[in-house]
Amino acid sequence: MNTSRLIEFSDEDLAELDEVAQYAEAMTPALGAMEVGNVRNQARAGAIAERVSRRQSASVRSQEMVYRSVAAELAGVTFTTDRSMQAQITQAVEWVECYPATLAAWEAGRITRGHATAVLRCGTVLPRDARAEFDAQAAEMCVGQSVGRVKDRLDHLAQELHPRTLAERHKEAREERRVSVTPLRDGMSELVATLPTLLAEGISDRLNEQASSVIDARNTPRDGGAGADEDAGEPDCRTRDQIRADILCDMLLSASPLVDPTVDGDGNGTLGMIRAKVQVVVPALTLLGRDDDPANDATTADLVGSAPIDPATARALAGAVATWERLVVHPVSGQVLFTDSYRRTASMARFLNARDRHCRFPGCRRPAVRCELDHTFDWAQGGPTDVRNLCHLCQRHHSMKQFTSWGVRQLGGGVLEWTSPTGRVYIDHPPAPLVRFMPSGGGAPPPDGNGGAPPPDPAPF
């Protein structure tokens, strides 16, 4: 064997690498113990929620509010969202109640969080009374194996132990088909469709066939004569993945839904007429095309409640709208003062849309266009319908404010002070606007009738 190409480690390198490996080996049980300790603590939170919910009325809403309130309490001290925390608590309760052997192996450092998560995922298909046997076998199956290697074996084990056939379960699983969007970086998002495997594979295969046709067509020599290539435009250099993505978008955005029960020979039915509604904040420099400097935050457009979008897309959206709206902000603080339109005076709802841009519960990013305008100090108790007493709350957090002991008050300038059931206080500031109209020459304040200052703080209610 030719050993001249083998990578060589010096004795010093090997000694240091051995120290690193020993440290990792020693830390694995410690990390496992800490992680499992956190899981057990989250399960305690779930037990508290369960205990308190039993003392409530039989209303599903009342019981759900208890779980939301408990999750929000933990979310506040761990700098996460209550939705995420509620999911973690639910998962922790499942681990503690149904997978004690897996938790013990994890706590001892014999397996990792990845293994425990795989066991939980695969065991979900089993009824609760069948999970004890699965847990015992799965925990031992994971020891000494990588997560990737053991996943298929765990799936097969769950299928073997399940009392019902796959055909019976698939019929029910079809009811859970859905489509979701996850924001990514750099103005991109991931569209995920949860479908029956046959349909998913069929869609993928059709996209492959259509992409192949596009690739074959661009690689086929043309017989159009000398001038044919001059009229053809730029060559198509897209990859197969890019072509598949483009075809999917073309079909979903331009084709009519054939399953629409209201479609007739005159055109689209109800489903075909549905249009999406999004709120986009576009800086002025982006509209002017002065967005070559990626370090300049003033050129970043924002899809509210989701993620930034690229400047070209923002300009295309701006060119397609019939009316424009403007944010007028204080030239120093950046506080939104009012909004207007070239056609009409800005309304109260438009002002709050511009100020809040998303739900104002700490950590929530649901867009304002999907939220409700809520009186911070209740209308029924004399609270005024005023921008200084209104904010956007999604249905989830509106209900929490109404049915739990979470409290909120406005501190002025759109700043909210939330108080949790245990007395912890969280301050939520309105997001800074992405575009500011500055006075020419930096002199006079904008003509807002208030000297350019932010609106006065509201009187205590």
- Sequence-distant (≥ 6) Cβ neighbours of residue 413 within 8 angstroms: 335, 430, 454, 455, 457
The pLDDT of residue 147 is 87
More confident residue, 287 or 333: 287
Q: Given a cut of 70, is residue 227 above it in pLDDT?
A: no
Q: How far apart are CA 459 and CA 60, in angstroms?
A: 37
Mean pLDDT, to the nearest integer, of 260-275? 56
Q: Which of 223-232, 252-261, 335-344, 388-397 has the lowest mean pLDDT?
A: 335-344
Average pLDDT for the chain: 77
pLDDT in tens, 47-68: 999 999 888 766 667 778 889 9
- Among 181-195, 252-266, 293-307, the least confident range: 293-307
Report yes or no: 120 and 94 within 8 Å, Cβ to Cβ. yes
Question: What pLDDT shows up at residue 324?
Answer: 55
Mean pLDDT within 7-12: 79
Read off the pLDDT of residues 344-370 as tens digits, 9 standing for 90 and up: 335 577 888 888 889 999 888 888 888
Report pTM. 0.58
pLDDT, residue 452, reads 37
Nearest Cα residue to 355 out of 284, 304, 297: 304
Predicted local confidence at residue 61, as pLDDT: 72
Over residues 291-315, the pLDDT tens digits come to: 545 444 444 555 555 555 556 666 6
Pick the closest to residue 66 from 75, 54, 83, 78 (CA basis).
54
Looking at this protein, which amino acid is placed at residue 162?
H
The residue-averaged pLDDT of 428-453 equals: 55
pLDDT of residue 304: 54
User: Which percentage of the chain shows pLDDT scores above 90?
Assistant: 27
What percent of the chain lies above the pLDDT cut of 70? 68
Tokens of 111: 């397996």
* pLDDT at residue 343 in the model: 38
Give the contacts of 430 (CB within 8 A, at least 6 positions apart): 336, 355, 356, 357, 360, 413, 414, 415
HSE, side-chain direction, 13 A CA sphere, residue 297: 5
Higher pLDDT, 246 or 138: 138
435 has pLDDT over 60: no
